[in-house]
Each structure stands twice: as structure tokens, then as C-alpha cells.
């Protein structure tokens, strides 16, 4: 057993002999086995136990058991008490979710406090089998059928190579005792139903069902690598990544990327599932790639729009509605990234044609035609202007459509108006022809929309 675990640690490079690690110790068989094995293998470990105050005296019994175990093994233990029910009510989440949240927040903070390299938890092969079956029941892709990963961020799982039977046998040989959590014996949650009801039935069909499932998972891991390689190649051509989307707030993916891929449905699932879109939505989007122009889908945090040539993904909170007033000339902060500078120019003839062409984010207008305060805001339905060089009034939305701007870009487009709501400037594009300056203008307003770091 020791060699089996050590070989698994070496294979996946889970632990460093020169670093300290936390072991999440509940007092149950899995965590006790993990603590004893890592201690015997010579790793520097400290235990961490959470008392969630959910099972009365049982919770206190578990805590005392962990204290006594660590004392016998000469292992330092960290203890904490949580009012889990109060936290669950406050956050409006289930007791299970509350306990998980509290536990991992505490472990991560403790890792920082004691300079631990990670948190070792007692997940084993049977847990991975249960996870695969759970994902299968709920609906999943290839990734969900590959089981629990040996390492995920700070979480390390050295016992994934061991079955529950292996763990119990090791504890018996060592003469080690452990606590049995009564809640694990009651099939009142889905995972326990899988463990206590579904798996026993599957063993009647195949006594080695766990091994068979893990073999399948191993094959799917290799399949996943091949498929994800193709996916990443397709998306790298358009510079898409989930991290980039988080940072930028909005990204477009040409529809051709999906339509040319061997499975547009899988590529959509890969892109959209992590963003909270469900299988039914993804199926709809896939069916409408070539036909549902203008259709919008939403998840909790993201919005998808199908344009004629692209799939537009935008974070809902990326840009809040903007409405800034500028009472007179001067420099004003617009947001954390941009400012606006308004300056009077009295010598109109000093403005050169080169200056006019230099920067699409600087304009010159007849000061007499604009009434302060000037207002910078998002475009709204019904906004109109007379594009520079034209005489007819045009809806701003139509102008942006002509430029092939998507819904997200339209929604976040800025318009500068005066106090009477006269359009002055569709920022970055055109001034309104009605406020253009001429040789007869006695005073000009120079207005620049600038990145704050360039000031």
C-alpha cells in the first residue's frame, strides 16, 4: 500500500519532500488512512479538522478523536468551529454547500498562514467512480466521465490509486481506528444513493465494475487530450480563451469556426458550458448557428448573441450604463480607464487638416452650437444624428448596423450630447453635421476621449 501510494505520488508529481502539507482530517477511514500513510512516507504534514456543529455530540466526538490521533502520532493539528446552519441561511445555500465552502476557505487560508504547499484530501478510487456515475446521471461531456483529477489547484489526492477496500485493509493491518459518520449510511443524498444502492446493483452484473469504469475513464482521458487539442487549435486561430473573455468582457468567435469544426456541438459545449449555459441552450444555439441571427441566450453571468457572421459572448456586468455630465471645459474622469478633455479654441484657423485626421477620438465642433452641460452616455433606442458630411437624419442603431457592429457593441457605444439632447458625437466614429465648425465659427470646442494612462 505504501509503495502503491508513493508510486502514484511520483507519477503525478503530487508532493515535494521539502514542503509542508495540510491533511484534511475528518476522523473517517479515508482521511485517517491518508494521514498515517503520508506520515509514514516521511512527508511533513499537519492535520486540519473542521467541526461544523451539525451532528451534536457526534461532531464533538469526531473532533476529540482527531485530537487524540494526532497526539499519538506526534502530528500538529489545527481546529476550527463553524456555525454551518447560520452560514447556509445567510448565503441561501444548502448545508452541504455551506460546509464545503467553509471547509475549503479555511484550508486555503491555513495554507497561507503556515506556508503549506497544498491540502491533501482522502478521495479514493471509489469516489472517482461515484463522481463519474453522478455526472453520467446529470448529463456531461467527456471531461465529466474522466473522474476526479489527482491535483486541482491546492487540492491534492494521493489516494486516488486506492480502492475503499484497500483503505480498509490497510487500517485493519495497522490496527488503526476511525470514526464512522452516521450521515454516510443514510441514502438521503444523491452520492450516497450511488454508493449504497446503485453500485451494489452494478456489482451483481459485473463484480469488477469499479475497475471497468476506471479503465473506461482512462481511455476517455486519452480521448479528451486528442479532442481538446483539436479544440484548442481551432480556438487559438481566433485568439479565444476563457481567461481572455473574463478579462475583456466581450469576445466574438466567427461562426465559420464552429461550422468548419468536425462537431460544432462539442465545440460549443467546450466554450459555453463553463460559462453556465446548459445543454438545452447549447443545443438550441447549435441548431440556430446559420439561421437564428439576432437571437439572444443568457446564463447567470453571460449573454450570447448570434450575429450574421459571429457568435458574440459578453459578460453581463462588463459595462454599466454610463451617464456623465460635463458643466464646462476641463478634464473629467469617465471611468477607471478613460477620461474626457474639453478645451476652447479661439483661433479657428490654427486647426490644421492633419489634426483633424489624426485621432478618431478627438473632435472639433462649433462651440456656439453646443449648450453646456455636455452629457456622455450609452446609446439608447431612438437616438438620431446627422452623420458628418450628410444632410439627412439617421438612427444611430442603423448607422452602427451599417458598420456591422454587434448587439454588445451597440449597447456599449457612447454618444456625446448637449444639454438639449442634441447629438454632438458618436464617439470614435462621426460628429453630427449640425455642429461642424466652419470658417464663420468664432470659437471651437476640442473634445478628446482619452485613455487615462495617456494623460
User: How is residue 345 written as a grid cell?
Assistant: 479654441
Q: Quick check: helix, strand or coil at residue 117? A: coil
48 annotated ligand binder: no
User: How is residue 296 written as a grid cell?
Assistant: 439572444
Please tell me the distance from the alpha carbon of residue 291 to that of residue 306, in angstroms, as a whole number: 9
175 annotated ligand binder: no
DSSP 198: I
Phi-psi region of 319 (alpha: psi -120 to 50; beta: other; left: phi over 0): beta
29 annotated ligand binder: yes
27 annotated ligand binder: yes
- The whole-angstrom distance between residue 334's C-alpha and the CA centroid of its chain comes to 28
Please tell me the distance from the alpha carbon of residue 21 to that of residue 357, in angstroms, as a whole number: 62
Please tell me the distance from the alpha carbon of residue 192 to that of residue 194, in angstroms, as a whole number: 5
28 annotated ligand binder: yes
Contacts (Cβ under 8 Å, ≥6 apart) of 414: 322, 376, 377, 378, 379, 426, 427, 428, 449
Residues 345 and 446 sit within 8 Å (Cβ to Cβ): yes
CA dihedral over 374, 378, 383, 387, signed as positive or negative? positive
- Going by the annotation, the residues of the binding site for ATP are 26-31
What residue numbers does the annotated binding site cover? 26-31
Amino acid at each position: 500500500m505504501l509503495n502503491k501510494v508513493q508510486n502514484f505520488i511520483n507519477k503525478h508529481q503530487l508532493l515535494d519532500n521539502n514542503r509542508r502539507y495540510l491533511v484534511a482530517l475528518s476522523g473517517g477511514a479515508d482521511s485517517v488512512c491518508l494521514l498515517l500513510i503520508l506520515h509514514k512516507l516521511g512527508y511533513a504534514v499537519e492535520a486540519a479538522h473542521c467541526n461544523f456543529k451539525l451532528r451534536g455530540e457526534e461532531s464533538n466526538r469526531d473532533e476529540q478523536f482527531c485530537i487524540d490521533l494526532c497526539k499519538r502520532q506526534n502530528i500538529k493539528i489545527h481546529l476550527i468551529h463553524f456555525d454551518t446552519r447560520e452560514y447556509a441561511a445567510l448565503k441561501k445555500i444548502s448545508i452541504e454547500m455551506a460546509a464545503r465552502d467553509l471547509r475549503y476557505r479555511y484550508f486555503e487560508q491555513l495554507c497561507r498562514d503556515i506556508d503549506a504547499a497544498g491540502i491533501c484530501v482522502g478521495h479514493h478510487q471509489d469516489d472517482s467512480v461515484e463522481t463519474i456515475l453522478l455526472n453520467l446521471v446529470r448529463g456531461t461531456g467527456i471531461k465529466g466521465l474522466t473522474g476526479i483529477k489527482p491535483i486541482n489547484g491546492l487540492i491534492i489526492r494521493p489516494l486516488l490509486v486506492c480502492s475503499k477496500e484497500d483503505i480498509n485493509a490497510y487500517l485493519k493491518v495497522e490496527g488503526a481506528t476511525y470514526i464512522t459518520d452516521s450521515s454516510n449510511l443514510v441514502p438521503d443524498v444523491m452520492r450516497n444513493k450511488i454508493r449504497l444502492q446503485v453500485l451494489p446493483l452494478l456489482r451483481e452484473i459485473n463484480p469488477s465494475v469499479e475497475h471497468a469504469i476506471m479503465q473506461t475513464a482512462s481511455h476517455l482521458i486519452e480521448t479528451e487530450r486528442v479532442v481538446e487539442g483539436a479544440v484548442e487549435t481551432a480556438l487559438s486561430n481566433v485568439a479565444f480563451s476563457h481567461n481572455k473573455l473574463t478579462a475583456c468582457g466581450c469576445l466574438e468567435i466567427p461562426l465559420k469556426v464552429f461550422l468548419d469544426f468536425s462537431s460544432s456541438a462539442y465545440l460549443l459545449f467546450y466554450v459555453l458550458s463553463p460559462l453556465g449555459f446548459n445543454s438545452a441552450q447549447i443545443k438550441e444555439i447549435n441548431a440556430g448557428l446559420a439561421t437564428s441571427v439576432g437571437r439572444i441566450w443568457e446564463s447567470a453571468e453571460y449573454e450570447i448573441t448570434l450575429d450574421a457572421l459571429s457568435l458574440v459572448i459578453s459578460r453581463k456586468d462588463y459595462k454599466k450604463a454610463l451617464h456623465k455630465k460635463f458643466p464646462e471645459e476641463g478634464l473629467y474622469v469617465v471611468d477607471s480607464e478613460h477620461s474626457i478633455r474639453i478645451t476652447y479654441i479661439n483661433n479657428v484657423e490654427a486647426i490644421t487638416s492633419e489634426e483633424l485626421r489624426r485621432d478618431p477620438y478627438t473632435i472639433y465642433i462649433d462651440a456656439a452650437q453646443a449648450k453646456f452641460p455636455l452629457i456622455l452616455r450609452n446609446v439608447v433606442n431612438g437616438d438620431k444624428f446627422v452623420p458628418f458630411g450628410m444632410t439627412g437624419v439617421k438612427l444611430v442603431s442603423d448607422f452602427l448596423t451599417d458598420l456591422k457592429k454587434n448587439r454588445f457593441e451597440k449597447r456599449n457605444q457612447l454618444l456625446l450630447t448637449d444639454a438639449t439632447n442634441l447629438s454632438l458625437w458618436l464617439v470614435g466614429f462621426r460628429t453630427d453635421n449640425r455642429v461642424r465648425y466652419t470658417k464663420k465659427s468664432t470659437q471651437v470646442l476640442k473634445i478628446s476621449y482619452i485613455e487615462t494612462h495617456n494623460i
